[in-house]
């Protein structure tokens, strides 16, 4: 019998949860966009950016390409890239300078 011991740190668990949430948020917004009704509320871009900013960038990227959502909107892509670059810079700083 194979015994596999698998544990996650709090930061890993947080990142998994926030990326799943971000993925679902982008998927929900795409569903609302496809319905294209005047009475349907969409998820604001600020909420989408915030879900990416707090650690959900990977889930957001996967959802953007899987659902083909917001990938043609240049202003959105540029802001999203800025968030990812900022996250990479923060990770780099904490990895090498602390």
Q: Give which of 55, 46, 45 is closest to 21, Cα–Cα.
A: 55
Return d(Cα 66, Cα 31) in angstroms, integer: 13
Domain boundaries, the chain: 21-31+43-96
pLDDT tens digits, 59-95: 999 999 999 999 999 999 999 999 999 999 999 999 9
Task: For residue 36, give Cα distances in angstroms to 1, 30, 73, 75.
Answer: 53, 10, 17, 21
Return d(Cα 30, Cα 17) in angstroms, integer: 20
With bands split at pLDDT 50, 70 and 90, how would you rate the model's confidence at 47?
Answer: very high
Which helix H or strand E contains 88, and what residues bound it? helix 74-96
Q: Specify whether the backbone of 70 is left (phi greater than 0), alpha (psi in -120 to 50) or beta.
A: left
Kindly report the pTM of this predicted structure: 0.87
């Amino acid at each position: 019998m194979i015994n596999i011991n698998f544990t996650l740190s709090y930061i890993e668990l947080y990142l998994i949860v926030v990326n799943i949430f971000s993925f679902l948020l982008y998927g929900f917004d795409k569903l609302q966009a496809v319905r294209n009704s005047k009475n349907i509320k969409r998820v604001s871009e600020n909420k989408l950016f915030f879900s990416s900013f707090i650690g959900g960038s990977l889930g957001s990227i996967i959802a953007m390409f899987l659902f083909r959502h917001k990938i043609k909107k240049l202003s959105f892509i540029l802001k999203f890239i800025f968030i990812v670059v900022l996250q990479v810079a923060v990770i780099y700083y904490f990895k090498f300078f602390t």
